Structure 1
Amino acid sequence: MSATLGPPADDWVPGLVALDIDGTLLKWVEGTGQHYEQVSAEVYDAVAAVLAAGSHVVLASGRSPHGMTLIADLLDLPREGSDRAWVVASNGAVLFRYPPLDIVHEETFDASDAVAAVLREHPEALVAVEERGVGYKVNRPFPEGELSGEMIEAPIDDIVGEPVSRVIIRDPSASVEDFVALGARLGLHGTDYVVGWTAWLDLCPVGVSKASGLDHVCRHLGLTADDVLAIGDGRNDLEMLRWARRGVAMGQAVDEVHEAADATTASVYDEGAAVEIRRWFPA
């Protein structure tokens, strides 16, 4: 899809640039559901321009915290002499500062009923919950490369027996459309959910999203949504793109992401994040 950038505001400069990771900063390995853990020179230099201008860069991802620190390192966040970076993890349920990794806010919920409802319809589904600093507790191993860190097998009752910040449910034999319909059909009362690029369901606390996490960060920094440029490509970016003053969809995003955004940039394969950032922070 070609970029439809729209007119820039007269003299607006984003005070904070919120960036999704997978499919926005990192390119997908097509057909695998996995991504290259590499940041292009174009994206690196664009992020450097934001920081040089005195604005903030905040990573906002569905990833768990231990899966985000490498990306912060690849981008050299924060720069030497700067305050520790803010990072929004687990689709907004976990906020941390880095380095070192220091959890400063976490939202949890009881996911047991929602997980049971999904498993009644997809009994062979894979379930995972973060085991902080190690990897994930899983009922069975996920396909290679889909989770970061170690996979520790455990019974479902142990995985969701206590409040959690996020649950991943994955059914390699199902389709994205199956999971979109499943979420709509079940309602998953008391729980919010996001369907990914594959038959991948993220369960999270009600009212928690990347937008709510970023709002928390903005309040700490003395900013508001009116100061934010947000860029993303997935269904878990919808709230963030609507909330920010300027929400921009990556070119390869699904239709509902484009509809939620103010504009569309180039695809991740054409360095769309860098293209958009450079409109506001030129070389």
Structure 2
Amino acid sequence: MTIGLGDAPGCALGDGDRLDQGRSSLFQTRAGDQLLVALDVDGTLMTYDEFLSDEVRQCVADLRAAGHQVVLATGRPLVAVLPVARDLGIDEGWVVCSNGSVTARLDPSAPGGFVLEHVVMFDPSQALRVMREHMPLARIALEEVGVGYWIDDVFPDSNLHGLNTIVAFEDLCVRQTARVVVAHARTAGPDFGEQMRSLGLIDTYFMIAGTRWMDVAPTGVTKAYALERLRAELGIDPALTVAIGDGGNDVAMLGWAARGVAMGHAEAAVIAAADEVTLSITDDGAVPVLRSLLDVERG
């Protein structure tokens, strides 16, 4: 299913395996409850150099075997989520990609191993012209869902996944997309943010290997937005939702979940949005959280 912009929503670290549970002491489950467990990928399940531990793989497998819905919820495009899902042994279920703009159902019998369930597309043309005015040296990419990106120039090495097709800037302006990605995005003045908001869009900045990047997507389209749609479709009780994340793009998701867990290395704003804090990615902080969910089944 594809929708347009007009349909988008308005919307103390532990030692060893001990969690700082904070507000999530109120989170209660019983054996037999089906959980929706939303997991960020980079910096949560996987290190930034893309190492995934056997402990994470085993926990994910055990949760799925117990009947829970384990959903990868990431800023990665679909084309970059599929290999992570395969590495985790997930070939069925759902993934939320591109920070909530794309939801896909994994199906090993489908072409490419997936079926697009929900995609928020928008016309980026006005936003692209504003970017070109404020950031003339920036490199711009539009996501081509399930394939890769259309780009206006060569991007920094290894930071865009999938097939990258170079096209003229004016060609970018006539394409619909789920997300705009900008590299070498210098900090623009307040007028830029105001212009984005007037177009119904939101700009988010982040760093990769010393390069400043920016994502642009419809306002209100977040991981939380996509996960709530999925939760309702699956009929899972809102009180049985869990999320783990480490980045600014996880804040809404952590607030949405009945049990929101921030990684120990997360910034203060992310931790403030969570119910509890686990260990950092270097200590495989997702593992004790996932084990705690399994302990209910085993208890």
User: Which TM-score tier does this pair reach, normalised by the shorter chain?
Assistant: 0.7 to 0.9
**Structure 2 counterparts to residues 185-264 of structure 1, below 5 A:** 186-189=195-198, 190-198=200-208, 199-264=212-277
Shift of 1:150: 2.3
Q: Percent identity?
A: 35
Work out the CA distance in 2 between the residues paired with 1:259 and 1:180. 27
Q: What is the aligned partner in structure 1 of residue 126 from structure 2? A: 113
**112-121 or 53-62, which moves further after superposition?**
112-121
The one-letter code sitting in structure 2 at the alignment partner of 1:2 is L
Shift of 1:160: 3.5
Shift of 1:102: 0.8
**Normalising to structure 1: TM-score of the pair?**
0.86
Evaluate the alpha carbon distance shift between residue 148 and residue 244 of structure 1 in structure 2; reply closer, same or farther with a 3 A threshold: same
Work out the CA distance in 1 between the residues paired with 2:53 and 2:196. 40
Judge conservation of contact 2:242–2:259 (CA < 8 Å) in 1: yes
Which digits, 9 at most, give the CA deviation of each residue in 1:92-148, with x for residues without a partner?
111111132110111111222222222322211111112344321111111111111
Q: What is the aligned partner in structure 2 of residue 16 from structure 1? A: 36
Work out the CA distance in 1 between the residues paired with 2:57 and 2:144. 30
Judge conservation of contact 1:180–1:195 (CA < 8 Å) in 2: no
Judge conservation of contact 2:127–2:196 (CA < 8 Å) in 1: no
Judge conservation of contact 1:20–1:233 (CA < 8 Å) in 2: yes
**Structure 2 counterparts to residues 66-105 of structure 1, below 5 A:** 66-78=79-91, 84-99=92-107, 100-105=113-118
Q: What is the aligned partner in structure 1 of residue 171 from structure 2? A: 158
Judge conservation of contact 2:73–2:223 (CA < 8 Å) in 1: yes
The one-letter code sitting in structure 2 at the alignment partner of 1:249 is A
Larger radius of gyration: 2
Number of equivalences: 267
Shift of 1:24: 0.9
Q: What is the aligned partner in structure 2 of residue 2 from structure 1? A: 13
Work out the CA distance in 1 between the residues paired with 2:68 and 2:228. 16
Work out the CA distance in 1 between the residues paired with 2:128 and 2:98. 17
Judge conservation of contact 1:196–1:234 (CA < 8 Å) in 2: no
Evaluate the alpha carbon distance shift between residue 49 and residue 129 of structure 1 in structure 2; reply closer, same or farther with a 3 A threshold: same
Shift of 1:87: 0.8
Matched, 1:279 2:289: no
- Unaligned 5+ runs, structure 2: 1-11, 15-19, 108-112
Out of 133, 137, 140, the position equivalent to 1:127 is 140
Evaluate the alpha carbon distance shift between residue 183 and residue 260 of structure 1 in structure 2; reply closer, same or farther with a 3 A threshold: farther
Work out the CA distance in 2 between the residues paired with 1:116 and 1:187. 11
**66-75 or 3-12, which moves further after superposition?**
3-12
Shift of 1:186: 4.7
The one-letter code sitting in structure 2 at the alignment partner of 1:139 is D
Shift of 1:39: 1.7
Shift of 1:89: 1.0
Work out the CA distance in 2 between the residues paired with 1:224 and 1:183. 40
- Unaligned 5+ runs, structure 1: 29-34, 79-83
Shift of 1:10: 6.4
Evaluate the alpha carbon distance shift between residue 125 and residue 10 of structure 1 in structure 2; reply closer, same or farther with a 3 A threshold: closer
Evaluate the alpha carbon distance shift between residue 185 and residue 241 of structure 1 in structure 2; reply closer, same or farther with a 3 A threshold: same
Shift of 1:276: 1.5
What SS class does the counterpart of residue 203 from structure 1 fall into?
A: strand
What SS class does the counterpart of residue 18 from structure 1 fall into?
A: strand
- TM-align CA RMSD: 2.3
Work out the CA distance in 1 between the residues paired with 2:55 and 2:264. 16
